[in-house]
A and B are shown apart, each in its own frame.
Chain A
């Protein structure tokens, strides 16, 4: 019940296309859903995050869509660029308790072809 399932494992998109990565969870107590971006040999960096009081959050070309009833959330990258090629991780946490523990998905390796 503590798992976050992420798909696909890898994704190849043409430059200018839309990249979509999906995550699903079981624990209804989760109330914070961030996405992290990791380049090879680097630590992950927070990309965008959403809380369940909204169904969508957009920051530039990156959008999180959240479906509370389906217990799913997804990352959409519009106008994908070669510089977006990286590994993306979704995560979930329970905000109360101040531990900040995140449950991560297994990651999606995105390759954007020029």
Chain B
């Protein structure tokens, strides 16, 4: 069966510090991968998606970036965090060939920028 992991689960960072959030998927190959941000009490904002290694599409211009160094690894980064970067960050995957529309979400990372 497939499993998606995210870490860390929670993170408190000062403004201006760097960020690295990691997401890994087990039990599948060639997944589509997605990063979302969810502000408190708000909807899901798609940040980045990737259909393959090294292929990253950005949905929202911001000070965040994403990378996919391996087939089942997706990393969200920032060089300098802003207060507005606080939120709940969710990684998701879908099966590129079998069922690309059905996304499976990870447990999320709660980021607080102070």
Contacts and interface: CB of A to CB of B under 8 A. Distances in A.
Interface of A: 32, 34, 36, 41-46, 49, 89, 93, 95, 98-102, 104-107, 109
**A interface secondary structure, majority:** loop
A104 B51 contact: no
Contacts of A98: 32, 51, 96-97, 100
Interface of B: 32, 34, 41-44, 46, 49, 51, 57, 90, 92, 94, 96-97, 100-108, 110
Contacts of B49: 99-101
Given A89-B44, A93-B101, A43 B51 contact: no
A23 to B, nearest CB: 12
B101 A45 contact: no
A64 B51 CA distance: 29
A81 to B, nearest CB: 23
A93 B32 CA distance: 14
B42 A45 contact: no
B43 A106 contact: yes
